[in-house]
Structure 1
Amino acid sequence: MIAPRRFLPSISSLLALEAVDRLGSASAAAEDLNLTQSAISRQLKQLEQQMEVDLIARDQMRMQLTPGGANYAKEARVILSRLAQASIKLRANPDGGSLNLSILASFGLHWLAPRLKDFVAQHPGITVNLQTHNLPFSFEAGTAQAAIHYGTRDWPGVQYLPLMPKHVLPVCAPDFLSAPLSEPADLLGYPLLHLETHPDCWEQWFALHEVSAERLQGMLFDQSSAMTQAAVHGLGIALLPTFLAESEITAGRLQLAISGAPVSLGEYFLVWPPDHADDYPLIQFRNWLVAQIATEEF
């Protein structure tokens, strides 16, 4: 439900407030918005009258927003940015809308991207825009309507669709070992590569194999792709998700460091804020993902 009209200021007054907050003066705001300085002042005055709150600290030599006005301007900036993005999406795809999806780079590149063509074929009116992230972020501060999340249900304020467990394999360059190792504990004698966002993966892997391993050290990477390349070039042993490890093994760039079945260290989810739950593009994407997952074997 939309708030009463008296609480909904005009776009032009919000633009004036945002520009003054960002640029620090009415003259700079006027130049930025291609208006006169008096027009900026009128917009701010009208906004103050509508809100019944002082937004400008008039005892200052230089135009400065009050603390309340500055906070209001920051909120307005987020709203104006989201409105502009919505307008861009509408013009780009007036028939079916679009979905801004934030993805984990390795999952998006190696699992989602090869299958996304099927979604596009089934829903030609919906555009999927991809952006990458490493850690949970605030949906309110960005443009993403949904995201791929790995780990546990520890992202607050979102709804979850479980996708699949993350199965991992220890891999290394073909010439890194003279022969695959026979015991999990043997890996402790070699350099292990770590992912910055999940630095305890090796500890979890060893614990599942009943091997005591704490505070393991080694090279640290912010992306699975960078860690994969490090393993390919013989810098150590990496724990990679099966969809990434198996493709590298098939290509001959990596091999198993130790024989054995992959183990699960977490789960992939699709997450979204509740206020986007009924977005048509997101509903169609969720339904498509459910159908895709139903055909997979984990």
Structure 2
Amino acid sequence: MPFSRLPPLSALRAFSAFAETGSVTRAGAILNVSHAAVSQQLRNLETHLGVKLLDRSGNRLALTPEGSQLADTLIAAFGRIAQTVDALTGADADRPLHVSTSPSFASNWLMPRLAGFRTAHPEIDIMIDPTPRLNDPEPGGIDVAIRYGEAGWPGLESEPLMSSPIWIVAAPELIGDLKPERPEDLLGFPWLQELGTTEASNWFAQHGITKRLAKGIIHVPGNLMLDGARNGQGIVVTSQVAVERDVDAGRLRLLFEERAGGGYHIVTAPGAVRPQLRAFVTWLRREAARDRR
């Protein structure tokens, strides 16, 4: 590490605080120094780097493109440092474990098993955030995300949790005895799609079908989507793990299978791991292994 080439830490802290708050005064309050001291540190940083980081042409200071680039790096780096310090000192021990995952995975796999984790770890508070958005784990925020895909999320660490192909399923009372051979055979049926996703539309597009579905698509939250499918209200595209028991029990019929290599992954931010997160990840691995037996 060429430390001699790096700007003074005080200047980097002042710039990061300004970038986060958008105000020299608020940055000074965070750092417990005067706004004049912050302004001087900002000028010192620009002089050291020989790069214009701030646009002073308007009524308020604004980041230049170069300033935005440096700010993103510093905020992430200082956040990672804070996360490691908190993990080492236990400063964030009282913060609930924040878990982000899709509504369908939360309602059909995670929640039915969560009582076991609560029994083993009653001291750990948990916040489940069911959302179709891919929210990244970050210091002081989301601790872990359980994502569907094939791994490879830049800047994050991931490990496979379980394999789960994509299944296209429908209730027998909706589909009858039809044995579809091509996706086109399903164009005349109603479809259900998880709110915030385009899984059904994407599935048809992957097979070269772009025409509008005859009976349209209803967009609903993930748990309601599967309830609707069981009640015969539409065909759905979902993961095997979400509906395998329904298919085994005859409540749903498997029509097509896609992405045989797809599956769920445990996704975390790099750096030190909180004890609460370590316990939760260990439990996830055990539950997934139990399902494979």
TM-score by length of structure 1 reads 0.63
Deviations 1:233-271 (A, max 9, x none): 86533345566557889xxxxx8465x699565533223
Q: 2-side partners of 1:161 and 1:58: how far apart?
A: 45
Deviations 1:4-61 (A, max 9, x none): 4874754x65554245446655456557877533232233345457x54455558747
Q: 1:153 to 1:33 in 2, by over 3 A?
A: closer
The corresponding residue for 1:219 is 217
The corresponding residue for 1:91 is 91
Gaps of 5+ in 2: none
Q: What is the number of equivalent residue pairs in this alignment? A: 279
Contact 1:103 1:148 in 2 (8 A): yes
Contact 2:55 2:64 in 1 (8 A): no
Deviations 1:72-116 (A, max 9, x none): 22333334455566677743417xx97543312211222112223
Contact 2:161 2:288 in 1 (8 A): no
Q: 1-side partners of 2:50 and 2:3: how far apart?
A: 17
Gaps of 5+ in 1: 250-254
Q: 1:222 to 1:143 in 2, by over 3 A?
A: farther
Give the letter for the 1:161 counterpart: P
Q: 1:44 to 1:213 in 2, by over 3 A?
A: closer
Q: 1-side partners of 2:64 and 2:137: how far apart?
A: 27
Deviations 1:165-211 (A, max 9, x none): 24746335x9x75xx6112237543222345342367659xx9xxxx
**Matched residue of 1:190: which SS?**
coil
The corresponding residue for 1:289 is 284
The corresponding residue for 2:199 is 198
Give the letter for the 1:296 counterpart: D
| CA RMSD, 1 decimal | 4.9
Contact 1:171 1:239 in 2 (8 A): no
Deviation at 1:292, TM superposition (A): 1.5
Q: 1-side partners of 2:55 and 2:134: how far apart?
A: 41
Deviation at 1:226, TM superposition (A): 4.5
Q: 1:215 to 1:130 in 2, by over 3 A?
A: same
Q: Pick from 259, 264, 269: which aligns with 1:269?
A: 264
TM-score by length of structure 2 reads 0.64
Q: 1:271 to 1:125 in 2, by over 3 A?
A: same
The corresponding residue for 1:104 is 102
The corresponding residue for 1:252 is none
**Percent identity (aligned):** 25
Q: 1:117 to 1:80 in 2, by over 3 A?
A: farther
Deviation at 1:163, TM superposition (A): 1.1
1:116 aligns with 2:117: no
